[in-house]
Chain A
Amino acid sequence: MDQAIRRRNERVNRIGIGLSYLVTMAVGLLLAAIIGYLLWNGWPRLSMDFFLRHPEDLGRGGGILPVVVSTILLGGLSLAISVPLGVCTAIYLTEYTAEGRLTTVIRFGAECLAGIPSIIFGLFGFILFVITLGMGWSMLAGALTLACMVLPTIIRTAEEAIKAVPAGLRDVGYSLGATKSQVVWHIVLPQARPGIMTGVILALGRALGETACVIFTTGVSLEMPASLLDPGRPMAVHFYILAREGISMEMAYTTALVLVGLILLVNVGAAWLLARRRS
């Protein structure tokens, strides 16, 4: 009897562990499968020309040059807005105030912001930046909306990076007669820079893949944006339109490949930075 129970327990144990391994492997392979699928279907069309030519016939032919330019502009601009705000918030939360009601409120705000779906950011950006502030569909309106969306990511990672700076280093600064802002600027920030950069890169990855909040703020124009108040079409939106309106499946596969390749590159870069800091 006892023997039978033990044998059954052993069997359940083996099955359970085996199953969990199987699921993990399958889930891990999903990413490889997705990349393989996009490579298989998108690779044949990929060439230098694809990046350097203007699209023809709504994107059925040609390349994606204005789309690349829009993507870079939008990504860079949204970081230029969100990084100073996010890093300053993190500095204030970690260096300038003790844990209390104020930090709880600010953290709660950031957490709420992180949970809001991107389509709501789209509605918000449309009504505030595009309509109320009169920016129209533009790179600026899109970048402001994206900046609001990635702000919590930057605050959280910057806060962790700043907290990880050993307290002793700050004391050395103070003992030399430095003021608080000097300690932060000359000692804490340089030490925390790799960690902050990781967050910035993760935010960039998120901004590059975003569609729902961008499509109503940046617009869908395939023209080359000449100024920040011009509309444009970032890569994720271009891909969405190609695929959803059935304009060209081949071009859609290749654009998807470029988009995913770019985002994975960005994320691997962030992971590499983080690993280098830890070692």
Chain B
Amino acid sequence: MSSGKGMAVDDLRRREERIRLALLCMAFSSILVLALIILFVFREGVPQIMRVGVAEFLGGGRWAPTKGLFGIFPMIIGTVQVTLGALVIGVPLSLLSAICLSEFAGPRTRTIMKPLIELLSAIPSVVFGFIGVTVIVPLVRETLGGSGFSVLSAALMLSVMVLPTITSIAYDALRAVPAAYREGSLALGATPWQTVTRVVVPAARSGLVTAVILGMGRAMGETMAVIMVAGNAVVVPTSPLHPCRTLTSNIALEMAYASGGHQKALFATGVILFVMIFCLNSLATFIVRRR
């Protein structure tokens, strides 16, 4: 601390003030980045939405950039189907794992299994996509028919990808339920399973809902993995075995060669995706705050 030695108190105070201001500026970096993202992505995308027309852009069924047709309705439906499919498969598995780890498993099982499940989130999405192509797609093709590149394959793969997110947040929510609730229920003669399903889970409800919403955000924003297994055809899928294209895939597939109005339409796709995810995350934050 020799740096302060010999300095007048006023100098020292002024230096402290400068450091505080510098830190304050740095602290605004995350807000700045968020503002820049909104500014730049929206500035490219929103005028294009206006040019095409909001109703035509969101509700139009045809995407043919060379003919000037920009309708992303099939992609919105594709995104919703794939995301909901992933949740239908992934949520029960995640919740059961979280319940097991928090309520039933002993410390040894927990210290082994919890990191194993959480490490699943470290596997890059391209690797999941690759495993999707080499394992899930052939499996779906051989057992259920079709090409295998489908809503179902994408949902199956995404259900694994959202597992670690939902499990670890749900686990924290379950652990936050006071032990007295469990003791009271067990003392009344309820079995451990009844205690979990009728007391602990309802008490942790808002945390569990947050877990599912954040998992949903992850599934909705996933790109490279989905491109590899979903088939990417621009149609409204009417069966789980049909191919589909999501909003994220639409951007990643065409950004490499798009220009002009086409490129702006991809930014516009990003705007819609951003708004959907932003609403989801705000909902999750709102639920956490209310608790």
Q: Measuring CB to CB, which residues of chain A are less than 8 angstroms from any residue of chain B?
A: 9-10, 12-13, 16-17, 19-21, 23-25, 27-28, 30-32, 34, 37-38, 84-85, 88-89, 91-93, 96, 105-106, 108-113, 115-124, 126-128, 132, 148, 151-152, 155, 176, 178-182, 186, 205, 208-212, 215-216, 236, 239-240, 243-244, 252, 256, 259-260, 263-264, 266-267, 271
Instruction: Tell yes or no: B179 within 8 A of A by CB.
Output: no
Partner of B224, one of A28, A34, A212: A212
- Chain B interface, number of residues (Cβ within 8 angstroms): 84
Question: A92–B27 contact, CB under 8 A?
Answer: yes
Most chain A CB atoms below 10 A, which of B23, B31, B126:
B126
Interface stretch, picked from B49-57, B69-77, B92-100, is: B92-100
Interface stretch, picked from B136-144, B236-244, B270-278, is: B270-278
* Alpha-carbon gap, A256 to B127, bound state (A): 7
Known: A89-B26, A116-B221. A128 touches B130 (CB 8 A): no
Question: A236–B124 contact, CB under 8 A?
Answer: yes
A-B contact pairs, 17 of them (CB 8 A): A13-B193, A28-B112, A88-B23, A92-B24, A106-B27, A109-B31, A109-B34, A115-B214, A116-B37, A119-B252, A128-B36, A179-B16, A180-B16, A181-B15, A243-B228, A256-B126, A266-B122
User: When A and B form their complex, what is the total count of cross-chain residue pairs whose Cβ atoms lie within 8 Å?
Assistant: 239
Q: Which single residue of chain A is at the shortest CB-CB distance from B36? A: A128
Question: B30–A106 contact, CB under 8 A?
Answer: yes
Q: Measuring CB to CB, which residues of chain B are less than 8 angstroms from any residue of chain A?
A: 1, 3-4, 12, 15-16, 19-20, 22-24, 26-31, 33-34, 36-37, 40-41, 44, 93, 96-97, 99-101, 104-105, 109, 112-113, 115-117, 119-120, 122-127, 129-131, 133, 135, 160, 163, 167, 191-194, 196-197, 214, 217, 220-224, 227-228, 248, 251-252, 255-256, 266-267, 270, 273-274, 277-278, 280-281, 285
For B113, what are the chain A residues with a Cβ–Cβ distance below 8 Å?
24-25, 28
Q: Which single residue of chain A is at the shortest CB-CB distance from B103? A: A20
* Alpha-carbon gap, A176 to B123, bound state (A): 48
Say whether chain B's binding surface is mostly helix, strand, loop, or mixed: helix
Question: B191–A9 contact, CB under 8 A?
Answer: yes
Known: A27-B167, A259-B127. A113 touches B16 (CB 8 A): no
For A108, what are the chain B residues with a Cβ–Cβ distance below 8 Å?
285
Q: Which single residue of chain B is at the shortest CB-CB distance from A154? A: B30
For B135, what are the chain A residues with a Cβ–Cβ distance below 8 Å?
37
* Alpha-carbon gap, A239 to B41, bound state (A): 28
* Alpha-carbon gap, A120 to B206, bound state (A): 28
Question: B24–A116 contact, CB under 8 A?
Answer: no
Most chain A CB atoms below 10 A, which of B4, B19, B123:
B123
* Alpha-carbon gap, A218 to B232, bound state (A): 24
Partner of B119, one of A21, A31, A89, A252: A31
What's the least CB distance linking B272 to chain A, in Å?
11
For B252, what are the chain A residues with a Cβ–Cβ distance below 8 Å?
119, 122, 212, 215
Question: A239–B126 contact, CB under 8 A?
Answer: yes
What's the least CB distance linking B210 to chain A, in Å?
12
For A178, what are the chain B residues with a Cβ–Cβ distance below 8 Å?
1, 4
Question: A152–B227 contact, CB under 8 A?
Answer: no
For B251, what are the chain A residues with a Cβ–Cβ distance below 8 Å?
119, 122-123
Question: A119–B122 contact, CB under 8 A?
Answer: no
For B109, what are the chain A residues with a Cβ–Cβ distance below 8 Å?
24
Question: B126–A209 contact, CB under 8 A?
Answer: yes
Supplied contacts A20-B99, A117-B217, 15 more A-B pairs, CB within 8 Å: A21-B100, A21-B104, A92-B23, A106-B28, A108-B285, A117-B221, A119-B252, A119-B273, A123-B255, A182-B1, A209-B125, A212-B224, A215-B252, A239-B127, A263-B123
For A243, what are the chain B residues with a Cβ–Cβ distance below 8 Å?
126, 129-130, 133, 228
Partner of A205, one of B24, B37, B122, B256: B122
For A89, what are the chain B residues with a Cβ–Cβ distance below 8 Å?
26-27, 29-30
Question: A118–B117 contact, CB under 8 A?
Answer: no
Partner of A236, one of B20, B93, B126: B126
What's the least CB distance linking A250 to chain B, in Å?
12
Question: A209–B123 contact, CB under 8 A?
Answer: yes
Question: A105–B31 contact, CB under 8 A?
Answer: yes
- The list of the 7 closest CB pairs from A to B, nearest first, reads A117-B221, A209-B124, A88-B26, A20-B100, A13-B191, A16-B193, A109-B31
